[in-house]
Amino acid sequence: MKKSLIRIILVAMFTALISAGAFIRIPLPPVPITLQTLFVVLASLCLPTSLALEAVVLYMFLGIIGLPVFTSGGGLAAFIGPTSGYMIGFIPAVLIGSLLSRLKTGVPWYLLCGFLATVGIYIPGLLVLKYTRDLSWAATISGGLVPFIIGDTIKIVVCAFTAVAVKPKVSSLLERDGQ
Partner 1 sequence: MLKDMTLGRYCEKEGPLHSLNPVVKLCVLLLILVSLFLSNTLTLLSLSLLLFTLIFIFSRLKLSYVFRGLGAYFFMIIIFSFIRFALYHFTASGAEEALIIALRLLLIVLYSSLFTCTTSSDEVSRAMEFLFRSRYLALVFSVALRFIPVLSEEAKKIHQAQLSRCGLSYAKSKRRIKAFLSVLVPLFSASYRRSLELSMAMDSRCFSPEKSTHLYSLEFKTKDWWTLIILAIYLAAFVFLRFV
Instruction: Report if residue 28 touches partner 1, rule: CB under 8 A.
Output: yes
Is residue 178 involved in binding partner 1 (CB under 8 A)?
no
Q: How many angstroms separate the CA atoms of 74 and 59, rounded?
A: 11
Please choose, out of 91-99, 101-109, 114-122, 154-162, the segment that lies near partner 1 by the rule CB under 8 A: 154-162
Applying CB under 8 A, which part among 9-17, 93-101, 103-111, 113-121 lies near partner 1? 9-17
Cross-strand partners of 26: 33
CA pair distance 122, 146, nearest whole angstrom: 11
- Is residue 74 a contact point for partner 1 (CB under 8 A)? yes
- Torsion from C-alpha of 104, 109, 26, 17, nearest 10 degrees: -10
CA distance 75 to 143: 24
Q: Which residues bind partner 1 (CB under 8 A)?
A: 2-13, 15-17, 19-21, 23-24, 26-29, 35, 38, 54, 58, 61-62, 64-69, 72-77, 79-82, 133-134, 150, 154-155, 157-158, 161-162, 166, 169
